[in-house]
């Protein structure tokens, strides 16, 4: 099938690469000429395991190419995926201006029947909006359909998630349009849910908000654990063993970050409000999440009441492992707060330091975790990169001024760390 994917951000790039890999002819279109040039040279704009190899292979086999000529991409394909950003506006509502400008272009370039598939995360009702904009701009008497096909892939495991989705959701108003999109997923062994457009749009937000709620829930439980002597890891393991609850997204820590959960929870709350439904639960989910860094810092402050001239080694800067994405990364606020209290920060991240440099200055970037540990009063683990599990802890501890460790993700085994002489503080495991 001939497909265009408008927008070569996370979702667009991975979607395009995966559809090409499944044998389709894919054009990735983006208005950012520099990005397109680099993609055509095989240089990825993001770090995502397996992506570069997949893109290059499909480019070599001429199933995947990139262009900044969005009009051309639309004119020459039968299925057009909208994969542009939907950032939050100041009030938290979703900014649909990028989606709108693509819809205008689709209208203007409608030269035959096309299925317009919205993969960007958009509030319920956006499908109707896109349809209206295309209709207003079309110059020919040809039909089109607007379908919602939300994406559930995670950064850091995007390729694997796209190839093995938990489900495929297709929201369409006609069977023909639904079938056309379903054809694209025919080779994947995943349950398919065919719904109306509005339900598909809401499924995406309901899923992300529910996962965010699980995280905030376990973080609230972690606070109780700290006061009561319970251990949140034990609690979450046994709670998650109930199949009705499930073990995933029950890791207590510094809270959720990234480009999706924070903005999607707010957006759903605003949508609910607009429709006259008060979703107070979501406000609490956000409040708990927003309080995580302050809570964590208050624990560090208890141990180091006077931070002036204290040196902290921060391990991990990205919002989560296996990505270089710094959007809504907890490292940023943690470091800012520590600096404001007089501390000096050394930091290391396996892949996110280039992006971090644009956001965080006044710290020392190190080329390894050991560099971070040298002369540090404490290590603060913010992002649970796998390579941090393989560290030589004796060497790390010997380099430090004092062997204190704050584990913001409950990544390490407290008993093991204590037996190696570390003063260890996790999340939801006892008071300081």
Binding site for ligand UGA (CB under 6 A): 121, 151-155, 208, 211, 215, 249-251, 253, 255-258, 260-261, 319-320
Q: How far is the CB of 334 from ligand UGA (least distance, A)?
A: 13
Output 215 or 334, the one with its CB closest to ligand UGA: 215
Output 5 or 260, the one with its CB closest to ligand UGA: 260
Q: How far is the CB of 249 from ligand UGA (least distance, A)?
A: 4
Output 67 or 410, the one with its CB closest to ligand UGA: 410
Output 257 or 426, the one with its CB closest to ligand UGA: 257
Cα 66–72–78 angle (5° rounding)? 90
Chain centre distance of CA 296: 22
Q: Quick count: other Cβ atoms within 10 Å of Cβ 16?
A: 31
Q: How far is the CB of 321 from ligand UGA (least distance, A)?
A: 8
Output 249 or 370, the one with its CB closest to ligand UGA: 249
Q: How far is the CB of 112 from ligand UGA (least distance, A)?
A: 31
Q: How far is the CB of 41 from ligand UGA (least distance, A)?
A: 26
Output 59 or 126, the one with its CB closest to ligand UGA: 126
Output 122 or 311, the one with its CB closest to ligand UGA: 122
Write a three-state SS string for the chain.
CEEEEECCCHHHHHHHHHHHHCCCEEEEECCCHHHHHHHHCCCCCCCCCCHHHHHHHHHHCCCEEEECCHHHHHHCCCEEEECCCCCECCCCCECCHHHHHHHHHHHHCCCCCEEEEECCCCCCCHHHHHHHHHHHHCCCCCCEEEEECCCCCCCCCHHHHHHCCCCEEEECCCHHHHHHHHHHCCCCCCCEEEECHHHHHHHHHHHHHHHHHHHHHHHHHHHHHHHHCCEHHHHHHHHHCCCCCCCCCCCCCCCCCCCCHHHHHHHHHHHHHHCCCCCHHHHHHHHHHHCHHHHHHHHHHHHCCCCCCCEEEEECCCCCCCCCCCCCCHHHHHHHHHHHCCCEEEEECCCCHHHHHHHCCCCEECCCHHHHHCCCCEEEECCCCHHHHHCCHHHHHHHCCCCEEEECCCCCCHHHHHHCCCEEECCCECCC
Q: How far is the CB of 406 from ligand UGA (least distance, A)?
A: 16
Catalytic residue among 83, 225, 260, 366: 260
Q: How far is the CB of 117 from ligand UGA (least distance, A)?
A: 16
Give yes or no: 366 in active site.
Answer: no
Question: What residues are labeled active site?
Answer: 260
């Amino acid at each position: 099938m001939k497909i265009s994917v408008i927008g070569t951000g996370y979702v667009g790039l991975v979607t395009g690469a995966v559809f090409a890999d499944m044998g389709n002819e894919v054009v990735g279109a983006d208005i950012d000429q520099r990005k397109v040039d680099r993609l055509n040279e095989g240089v990825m704009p993001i770090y995502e395991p397996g992506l570069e190899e997949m893109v290059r292979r499909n480019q070599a086999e001429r199933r995947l190419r990139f262009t900044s000529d969005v009009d051309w991409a639309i004119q020459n394909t039968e299925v057009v995926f909208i994969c542009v950003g939907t950032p939050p506006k100041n009030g938290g509502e979703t900014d649909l201006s990028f989606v709108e400008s693509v819809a205008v272009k689709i209208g203007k370039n409608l030269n035959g029947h096309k299925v317009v598939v919205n993969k960007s995360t958009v509030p319920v009702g956006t499908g109707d909006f896109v349809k209206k904009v295309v209709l207003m701009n079309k110059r020919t008497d040809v039909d089109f359909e607007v379908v919602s096909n939300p994406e559930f892939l995670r950064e850091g495991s995007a390729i694997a998630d796209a190839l093995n989705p938990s489900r495929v959701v297709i929201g369409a108003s006609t069977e023909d349009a639904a079938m056309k999109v379903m054809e694209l997923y025919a080779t994947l062994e995943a349950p398919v849910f065919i719904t109306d457009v509005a339900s598909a749009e809401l499924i995406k937000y309901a899923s992300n908000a529910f996962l965010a709620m699980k995280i905030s829930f376990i973080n609230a439980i972690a606070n109780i654990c700290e006061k009561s002597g319970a251990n949140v890891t034990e609690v979450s393991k046994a709670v998650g063993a109930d199949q009705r609850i499930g073990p995933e997204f029950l890791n207590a820590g510094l809270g959720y970050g990234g480009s999706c959960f924070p903005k999607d929870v707010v957006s759903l709350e605003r949508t609910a409000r607009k429709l006259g439904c008060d979703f107070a639960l979501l406000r609490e989910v956000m409040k708990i999440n927003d309080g995580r860094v302050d809570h964590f810092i208050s624990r560090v402050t208890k141990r180091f009441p006077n931070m002036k001239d204290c040196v902290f080694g921060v391990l991990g800067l990205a919002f989560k492992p296996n990505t270089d994405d710094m959007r809504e990364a907890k490292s940023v606020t943690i470091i800012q707060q520590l600096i404001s209290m007089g501390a000096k920060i050394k930091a290391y991240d396996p892949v996110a330091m280039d992006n971090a440099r644009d956001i965080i200055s006044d710290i020392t970037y190190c080329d390894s975790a050991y560099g971070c540990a040298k002369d540090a009063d404490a290590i603060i683990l913010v992002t649970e990169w796998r390579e941090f599990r393989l560290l030589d802890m004796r060497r790390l501890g010997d380099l430090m001024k004092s062997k204190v460790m704050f584990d913001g993700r409950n990544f390490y085994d407290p008993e093991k760390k204590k037996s190696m002489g570390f003063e260890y503080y996790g999340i939801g495991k006892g008071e300081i």
